[in-house]
Structure 1
Amino acid sequence: MFRELGERIVGAPSILSADFAHLAEEVERTKAGGAELVHFDVMDNHFVPNLTIGPPVAASLVRATDLPVDVHLMMDNPDNLIPAFAEAGVASISVHQEAAVHLHRTLTRIQEAGCEAGIVLNPATPPETLEWALPAADFVLVMSVNPGFGGQSFIPETPEKIRRLREMTDKPIEVDGGITAETAPLVVEAGAQVLVAGSAVFKGEPAEEMRRILDAARSAGRSR
């Protein structure tokens, strides 16, 4: 998915804000609005103050949709779950720079398991910390809120951080947190291509809300 992205701008609904009792249907509604992958947040109640879902749910979702499933591991010891998520059939796995003790090795393990590998940066982590890990990654995920909960407000310094990261690499940049039709143009103008949106998509009719965000983002992309 990320390796073939080219110059496209794509939407990724975060299922953290979806109705889990009707997860497959919720994902299909976002697909009708133009979503091209599904963002799957995994929280462990250690690295972040919340607890979510794991590989069995990922495997069920993979079977229920033809969209690639993009797993974001917000957890300590992410290496422990890489094999299980790869076996579940997900397309990509991203890990936090702050949680992976041996980041280069972790990224390599993700790729050897058959998935694309991403590095995640918390809001306070400078892009420069990734200098020697970037060659081993397929993409970078910039958090535009502090990880752990959906529905948070966009951190306004994020676009500048994306610009600095864009100067360092041509790898695709994904952004997660507070993405709406109003903030999507800001991150796209800065150089982001993959937009993760949860609350803004599932607060109303998912297809319509996904389409609104993508229309705003792509308009900004044409002008950059």
Structure 2
Amino acid sequence: MSFDRSIKIAPSILSADFANFGAEIEAVEAQGADWIHVDVMDGHFVPNLTFGPPLCAAIRKHINTVMDVHLMISPVDPYIQAFADAGADVLTAHLEAGPHIHRTLQAIRGAGCKAGLALNPGTGVEDIDYLLNMVDLICVMTVNPGFGGQKFIHSQIDKVKKLRAMIGDRPIHIEIDGGITPETAPLMAAAGADVLVAGSAVFKGGSVQNPAPYGENIRAIKASVAS
């Protein structure tokens, strides 16, 4: 998993056909997805319940790009090794998910994964200055975590600009999760983001039997950033 700042689209399987994950992933990758984003929710840290390590292990063999696992769970530390063993390339934990985020990031890297740090919409960037050398990715939530299909929170644009200035030339991805469309994507790219998570904006209108809309949707987001 090499580092670059080109725009990458990471479709969230939260918007895919749950009965057909393997085929959905293969279809969306064939249509141009750069990463595959897996939203793990525990019904405790966020008000929804989704996937665990067995699901991640099951879909791993269908993923040829990057398996980007977003842990919206608390506590995080007891589950890091299980998700690493399931094949995650990137494991992202929330700053607020536990009392010792530095230790959590150490554990993620120790398990052989790239370490991501997620920031909720109400979280500032002041607390991450001393964590920048511990992370490979910062995920800025542009909706409140827990559900797909929410409206984009525009106040996060300024947060991304601050983060980009803080990061400087460090090889750290800035990922945006929530409300990404061809309208919002260029705002985040201009602010400094390079990984755009998109659920319904990628999967709408398509299916395993008719995957062409997936590619059209991905290209529309990328074109909006390039224009």
TM-score (norm 2): 0.92
Show the 5 A alignment for 1:56-71: 56-71=54-69
Percent of paired sites with the same residue: 51
**What amino acid is the match of 1:35?**
A
Between 72-81 and 4-13, report the one with greater CA deviation: 4-13
Deviations 1:91-124 (A, max 9, x none): 0100000113111111011111110001000001
Q: Deviation digits for residues 141-200 of structure 1, max 9, x if unmatched?
A: 000000000000100112111001111114210000000111100000000000000011
Equivalent residues in 2 for 1:31-42 (5 A)? 31-42=29-40
Contact 2:40 2:50 in 1 (8 A): yes
Q: 1:213 aligns with which of 207, 218, 221?
A: 221
Q: Please list, as runs of the form range in 1=range in 2, the aligned pairs for 1:126-145 lying within 5 A after superposition.
A: 126-145=124-143
1:105 — aligned with what? 103
The aligned residue for residue 184 of structure 1 is: 185
Cα distance in 2 for partners of 1:24, 1:213 equals 23
Q: How does 1:186-205 map to 2 (within 5 A)?
A: 186-205=187-206
Match of 1:19 among 17, 20, 24: 17
Aligned letter for 1:15? I
Letter in 1 for 2:41: M
- Distance in 2 separating the partners of 1:85 and 1:57: 10
Tell me if the contact between 1:93 and 1:116 (Cα under 8 Å) persists in the aligned partners.
Answer: yes
In structure 2, list runs of 5 or more residues that go unmatched: 207-213
The correspondence of residues 20-169 of structure 1 with structure 2, limited to 5 A, is 20-169=18-167
Residue 135 of structure 1 and its aligned partner are, at CA, apart by: 1.1
Query: Using the alignment, how far apart are the partners of 2:87 and 2:142 within structure 1?
Result: 27
TM-score of the superposed pair, with normalisation by structure 1: 0.94
| Helix, strand or coil at the partner of 2:97 | coil
Residue-pair matches, total: 217
Distance in 1 (CA, whole Å) between partners of 2:216 and 2:94 is 31
Structure 1 residue ranges without an equivalent (≥5): none
Q: In structure 1, give the amino acid aligned to 2:45.
A: F
Question: What residue identity is the alignment partner of 1:122?
Answer: N
Q: 1: CA distance between counterparts of 2:222 and 2:58? A: 27
* Stretch of structure 1 that moved more, 118-127 or 208-217: 208-217
1:7 & 1:123 partners in 2: Cα distance? 23
CA distance in structure 1 between the aligned counterparts of 2:24 and 2:221, rounded to whole angstroms: 17
Shift of 1:10: 0.5
Give the Cα separation in 1 of the matches to 2:50 and 2:148: 12
Name 1:7's counterpart in structure 2: 5
Distance 2:119 2:5 in 1: 22
2:209 match:
none
Moved more, 147-156 or 26-35: 26-35
RMSD of aligned alpha carbons: 1.1
1:207 aligned partner, one-letter code = G
Paired residues of 1:33 and 1:209 also in contact (CA < 8 A): no
User: What is the letter of the counterpart of residue 187 of structure 1?
Assistant: M
